[in-house]
Amino acid sequence: MTEFVALLLGVHAHQPVGNFTHVLDDAHIRCYGPFLRVLHRYPDFHFAFHCSGWLLDYLLQHYPQDMRLLKEMVRRGQAELFGAGYTEPVLAAIPARDRVGQITQLSDYLKQKLGQAPQGAWLTERVWESTVVPALADSGVEYVTVDDYHFMCTGKRAEELTGFYTTEEDGRTLDLFPISEALRYRIPFAPAHEAVRYIEGLADDTGQAAAIYFDDIEKFGIWPETYEWVYERGWLKDFIEGVLASSVIKPMRYCDYHRQARTRGVVYLPTTSYSEMNEWTLPVPAAHHYADMVEREKREGRWETSKPFVRGGIWRNFFMRFPESNWMHKRMLSLSHRYHALPDHLKNQDMLHALYQAQANDAYWHGLFGGLYLPHLRRAIYNALVSLESMLDAVAPRPRKEIRDLDLDGRDEIFLHNDVLQAIVRTDGSAAICELDAYTLRHNFGDTLMRQTEHYHRKVHANGYLQHQGEGIANPHERISFKHAIFPDDLQTDTHSKSIFIDQWQAMGEAPIHMQYALLTIGEDSLTFESITGIPGAVQKTIRLDGRVIKARYAFGKNASGRFSVEINLAMPSCDGPAGRYRMGGEILGGFGTPCEIEAFEEIWLEDEVLGGKVRLASSQPVHFRAWPHFSVSQSEAGFEKIMQAVTVVLGCDVANVKKNLDISIEIIKS
């Protein structure tokens, strides 16, 4: 038999729910559109295409001409559509019934809009857990793609991974295609002729060999340097023509290969993702130890052998690493349970739409990619969560106060809500508000991010910049660059969560201490705490919900003396952009991105055009006001950058000057 290799090439297009429209437009101009237009010129070059439902909906509305090209390529048998969850959730992280619902919704949408129901599915971030098999099979999916790394973790060798294998779970079967890492790192980074030659080297005379590729389409124009490389310098054109000119490479759709080939046998994969993700899920110092071990294995020439057995964490570790991610996730799970518990006649599509949007993966994790550090992506999750909760309350009201350990940290949270606001208060000793929801604005003002030490801070400290050498372009996994100047102060970590109403006491001549409280009473719309820290005199703190106002009242004992301060962290959507400002009376004091100080403060407005509302912050007595932007240092494929997470306000006073009680109130108003 003549030597032959099937080229199974697939691309995955996705933008996070809540991403800016100018980012979507730029992605289409530099990547999605050019890619489809080039492929359309070569009908014999077969390929697979996956697009998340949220992005596909946008492209169909705003770029119908290019979408018609895709539909034509589907119709003529050139392109195969792949499914997944509609909003691109990590399937393993959402309830089983939502897995089926998300997958079938996208499959139905693809059939309706582009004329083909998918047989295969893309796994978000290639996160594999065997528990997803039943949902995929029950949704009509016959095969998925995962990394060859997943297979090597079972002891498979690279030369065995030129076809698909079969797995099973709970009586359902699913076929698994191993994506070649060698191809992922060559396409499109190596010169086209080298990539073609490598694929030709995989040919054999069995008639079953396949070169399997499925990766982010953003590599073809959005990643640094790639637009010029792929389109202006003609990499994609040269690669396609090189493949079509080859006597041994046959580009095929996955469905055609799957129909004519047979499984290579049974396989059971471990819970894992791609190898870089396994590092990103680890906290410091474990991430340092892992990276050092990898570097040592590479330096000593053992990495290719030891790589499958030197594994880091799993994707769900992000819920352990980041309490903010865990909180969002558990809020989503709770609301999913409430939605599905409703009688069918009370459910509606708006509820389901909000639930699925809250399950989009991007804002739940962080690495070189992932959007946990991006406030607008977390805001989109909370927008969906708060909207869904409001709709559920309208048809199935819940108690005005609830006590439960939502985030599974061993300490209860107390939920207080009315028709316009919800305050969720921790009983961890801080007596602080971890979530403050305004239902009319669909916004959580407590959506901030605590700064913690990250593995990549080592690279920032080193201030290194790696210049790629040789022909081709740099893979972002191998790059170090800086979008912003990063200084040591930017890498300071937080000692406490960035919540609302965090209190601090400083006795004369002593260091400040964070207040600790014990819960005294739970009222109809209020909570009262008593200080338990060793300070002169007692402090009683009462948090009260009153219409659109949340108030903290501090009553100091007769013998109390010292400096008292209250920290308030507010998630303002405009961040350090031009749409947010401080206003006192008729005077604008500056934007949220600049520090602000008022010696005798009683009232200020935080106006935010992105929010579509404003916040009135007031004190019952004159206090010292300081505010500044809370930044964190993040990494992305574009480099290290500083991102504003919240406005931090600290109100301080000498207790001796307080007459009776000190009331700090936050009023939220929709514009």
Whether the predicted pLDDT of 405 surpasses 90: yes
CA triple 647-649-650, angle to 5 deg: 155
Please report whether residue 393 resides in a domain. Answer: no
Whether the predicted pLDDT of 517 surpasses 90: yes
Instruction: Choose, from 80, 88, 125, 607, the residue flagged as catalytic.
Output: 125
With contact defined as beta carbons under 8 Å apart, do 383 and 18 qualify? Answer: yes
Please report whether residue 177 resides in a domain. Answer: yes
Query: H/E/C letters for each residue in 546-557?
Result: ECCEEEEEEEEC
pTM (global) more than 0.85: yes
pLDDT tens for each residue of 95-130: 999 999 999 999 999 999 999 999 999 999 999 999
- Give me the pLDDT at residue 10, please: 98
Q: Which of 250, 269, 288 lies at the terminal end of a domain, its last residue?
A: 269
Distance CA 302, CA 310 (A): 11
With contact defined as beta carbons under 8 Å apart, do 441 and 240 qualify? Answer: no
Please report whether residue 509 resides in a domain. Answer: yes
Whether the predicted pLDDT of 471 surpasses 90: no
What's the mean pLDDT when you consider all of the chain?
A: 93
With contact defined as beta carbons under 8 Å apart, do 102 and 356 qualify? Answer: yes
Tokens of 29: 């101009």
Please report whether residue 550 resides in a domain. Answer: yes
Tokens 């100047």 map to which residue?
Answer: 485
600-604 own/partner pairs: CB under 8 Å, 24+ apart? 600/624, 601/625, 601/651
- DSSP classification of residue 445: T
- Give me the pLDDT at residue 467, please: 35
Q: What is the CATH number of the domain that holds 520?
A: 2.70.98.10
Please report whether residue 663 resides in a domain. Answer: yes
Closest by CA to 198, choosing from 213, 215, 186, 216, is 186
Q: What is the CATH number of the domain that holds 214?
A: 3.20.110.20
Q: How many structural domains compose the chain? A: 2
Pairing mode of beta strands 513-514, 500-506: antiparallel
Q: Which residues pair with 321 in a beta bridge?
A: none
Q: Which residues pair with 551 in a beta bridge?
A: 544, 665
What is the distance, to the nearest Å, from the Cα of residue 359 to the centroid of all Cα atoms in its chain? 10
Please report whether residue 426 resides in a domain. Answer: no
Q: Which of 252, 269, 286 lies at the terminal end of a domain, its last residue?
A: 269
Q: To the nearest whole percent, how much of the chain has pLDDT over 70? A: 95
**Choice between 153 and 636, residue whose per-residue pLDDT is larger:** 153
- Give me the pLDDT at residue 266, please: 98
Whether the predicted pLDDT of 524 surpasses 70: yes
Whether the predicted pLDDT of 49 surpasses 50: yes
**Choice between 409 and 473, residue whose per-residue pLDDT is larger:** 409
The percent helix, strand, coil of the chain (3-state, each to 5) is: 35, 30, 35
Mean pLDDT of 11-16: 96
DSSP sequence for 277-301: HHHHTSPTTHHHHHHHHHHHHHHTT
pLDDT tens for each residue of 121-154: 999 999 999 999 999 999 999 999 999 999 999 9
503: domain range?
Answer: 457-670
- Give me the pLDDT at residue 465, please: 35
pLDDT tens for each residue of 225-266: 999 999 999 999 999 999 999 999 999 999 999 999 999 999
With contact defined as beta carbons under 8 Å apart, do 209 and 250 qualify? Answer: no
pLDDT tens for each residue of 531-568: 998 665 679 999 999 999 999 999 998 877 889 999 99
- Give me the pLDDT at residue 469, please: 39
Phi-psi bin for 590: left (phi > 0), alpha (psi -120 to 50), beta?
left
Tokens 């009242």 map to which residue?
Answer: 553
Please report whether residue 462 resides in a domain. Answer: yes
Backbone angles phi, psi at 647, to 5 degrees: -95, 125
Q: Which residues pair with 591 in a beta bridge?
A: 581
The verdict on whether 494 is a catalytic residue reads: no
pLDDT tens for each residue of 569-616: 999 999 999 999 999 988 999 999 999 999 999 999 999 999 999 999
Name the strand (E) or helix (H) holding 209: none
The verdict on whether 125 is a catalytic residue reads: yes
Please report whether residue 321 resides in a domain. Answer: no
Mean pLDDT of 29-49: 98
Q: Which of 224, 250, 269 lies at the terminal end of a domain, its last residue?
A: 269
Instruction: Choose, from 3, 138, 216, 663, the residue flagged as catalytic.
Output: 216
Phi-psi bin for 87: left (phi > 0), alpha (psi -120 to 50), beta?
alpha
Closest by CA to 215, choosing from 254, 185, 253, 174, is 185
Distance CA 38, CA 618 (A): 59
